[in-house]
Structure 1
Amino acid sequence: MQLRAIAGYIENIYLVEDQAGLMLLDGCSRADVETVCHYIRDEIGLPLTALKLIVVTHMHPDHAGGARLLQQRSGALLACHPKAPGWYRGIAGRAAHAIDVALTWWVAGKLGKPKRHIWYKPSFEPDIRLSDEQRLPLFADWQVLYTPGHTDHDLSLLHLPTGQLYVADLIVSVKKQLTSPYPVCHPNQYKRSLWRVSHLNPSRVYCAHVKPLLDKDIDYDALIAQAPALPKNHWHSSKIRIYRALGLRPNQH
């Protein structure tokens, strides 16, 4: 098994190559579709049909935005958690989707990247709905782990023979310090997910926005201790600002 790293628009893209073909550990952003296609054809020297499986760990723009287009170009199967297709449904969901696209552009700007077309359909029907501890179809050496908290449907992917683990946005870095992501929609679930990963003792941890880490480089106790006690998301932040503007404390209501 070879794990290939590709520099994405705002995230690290990980492409698995083994006897079954190619698998994307995440659906990347719409801005990354040409980058991935170029890498498969020109760097590896394989046809796009060699891409057999695309896993979407969660529905945010830099993890799901390119999935459908890459599927259309390659014929790959698309897999995600059963809750993922409903993440952006409804009026509130569509508003959250627009905010998340805007946040992606904001992050790109902080990285010195130009604004690119990243809008994508915020829901899809996957070919495969993944459950906790399931082995990935076609790539049976990889096991699915349900690690919610950032959203209600986050997945991590463990390569069982080597202990390498992709955790997507479970851990990020701010000012060169490992920390929790934004948002954290379910704080208690997030802490349990960190605890679960810590007890796996992975040989190496791959994140979407942090360079690869050795397990000893991660202070899980500190991450759990620093994780928010209340939801840290768009709606909670807006509510706090409204209460402050009215001179109220959130716990008064």
Structure 2
Amino acid sequence: MQLHILKGYIQNIYLVQQGESLLLLDGCSRADIATVSDFIQHTLGLSLSALKLIVVTHMHPDHAGGAHKLRRLTGARIACHPKAPRWYGGVLGRTAHLIDVSLTWWVANRLGKPKRHIWYNPILKPDLLLEDEQYLPDFPDWQVLYTPGHTDHDLSLWHIPTKQLYIADLIVSVKKRLVPPYPVCHPNQYKQSLQRVNALQPSQLYFAHLLPKAGSSINFADILAQAPTLPKNHWHSMKNRIIHALGWQSGSH
């Protein structure tokens, strides 16, 4: 197993090579399609059809945005958790999608990246649904772990022989300190997911927005201590602002 790490638009791209078959550990952003395609064809010297499986760990733009078009280009199958296709459903879901696309551009700007086309269909149409502890089809050394909290459908991917683990956005970094991501939609589940990852004692952890780190170097207790007790997302932030404004107005009379 070879793990190729590519620099994406705002996140790391992890491409697994087993012989002449390729597995993409996340669906990238729409802006990353050329990066992945060029690497497969020109660096690895393989045809695009070598990409067999694209896992979408969750529906945010830098993890799902490239999946549909990459499937059209390569013939690869898309796999995700059963809850993922519903994440951006309905009026509130579409509003959240608009916010998340805007946040992606904001992050890109902070990284000094130009504004790129990243729009994608917010309703994922997967070929496969993945349950907790299932082995990936065609890649049986990889096991799916359900690690919700950031969203209600987050997946992590565990390489059993080497005890390496890709955890997507489960941990991020702010001012060089490892912290919970934004949003944390399900705080209790998030804490359980962190504890589960810690209990696995991974040899190496891979993150969407950080350089790889040895599992033993992560202070999980510190990250758990920073985890919110209430949901921390767009809707709760908006609700708190409204409550604060109403309280200020009532107090001003």
1:168 touches 1:207 (CA, 8 Å); kept in 2? yes
1:20 touches 1:138 (CA, 8 Å); kept in 2? no
Shift of 1:188: 0.2
Structure 2 unaligned residues grouped into runs of 5+: 249-253
Opposite residue 238 of structure 1, the aligned amino acid is: M
Opposite residue 113 of structure 1, the aligned amino acid is: K
Opposite residue 188 of structure 2, the aligned amino acid is: N
For 1:47, the equivalent position in structure 2 comes to 47
2: CA distance, partners of 1:113 / 1:39: 20
1:36 aligns with 2:36: yes
Shift of 1:49: 0.3
For 1:11, the equivalent position in structure 2 comes to 11
2: CA distance, partners of 1:92 / 1:246: 22
2: CA distance, partners of 1:182 / 1:213: 21
Give the secondary structure class of the aligned counterpart of 1:113. coil
Give the secondary structure class of the aligned counterpart of 2:213. coil
Opposite residue 101 of structure 2, the aligned amino acid is: V
Shift of 1:39: 0.6
Structure 1: 4+ residue segments shifted above 6 A: none
1:20 touches 1:139 (CA, 8 Å); kept in 2? no
For 1:2, the equivalent position in structure 2 comes to 2
2: CA distance, partners of 1:133 / 1:211: 25
2:83 touches 2:153 (CA, 8 Å); kept in 1? yes
2: CA distance, partners of 1:87 / 1:142: 25
Q: Which moved more, 1:11-20 or 1:135-144?
A: 11-20
1:129 aligns with 2:129: yes
| TM-score (normalizing by structure 1) | 0.97
For 1:151, the equivalent position in structure 2 comes to 151
What do the CA deviations read for 1:60-119 (whole angstroms, capped 9, x no partner)? Answer: 000000000000000001100000000000000000000000000000000000110000
Opposite residue 170 of structure 2, the aligned amino acid is: L
1:200 aligns with 2:200: yes
Structure 1 unaligned residues grouped into runs of 5+: 249-253
1:89 aligns with 2:99: no
Q: Identity of paired residues, percent?
A: 67
For 2:163, the equivalent position in structure 1 comes to 163
1:163 touches 1:204 (CA, 8 Å); kept in 2? yes
What do the CA deviations read for 1:148-190 (whole angstroms, capped 9, x no partner)? Answer: 0000000000000000000000000001110000000000000
Shift of 1:247: 1.9
Number of residue pairs the alignment of both structures matches: 248
1:164 touches 1:204 (CA, 8 Å); kept in 2? yes
Give the secondary structure class of the aligned counterpart of 1:223. helix
Give the secondary structure class of the aligned counterpart of 1:247. helix
1:229 aligns with 2:235: no
2:88 touches 2:123 (CA, 8 Å); kept in 1? yes
What do the CA deviations read for 1:42-72 (whole angstroms, capped 9, x no partner)? Answer: 1111000000000000000000000000000
1: CA distance, partners of 2:122 / 2:32: 17
2: CA distance, partners of 1:228 / 1:112: 30
2: CA distance, partners of 1:119 / 1:242: 29
Shift of 1:20: 6.1
Opposite residue 167 of structure 2, the aligned amino acid is: V
Shift of 1:124: 2.2
1: CA distance, partners of 2:38 / 2:19: 21
Give the secondary structure class of the aligned counterpart of 2:126. coil
Shift of 1:215: 1.0
2: CA distance, partners of 1:191 / 1:205: 17
Opposite residue 58 of structure 1, the aligned amino acid is: H
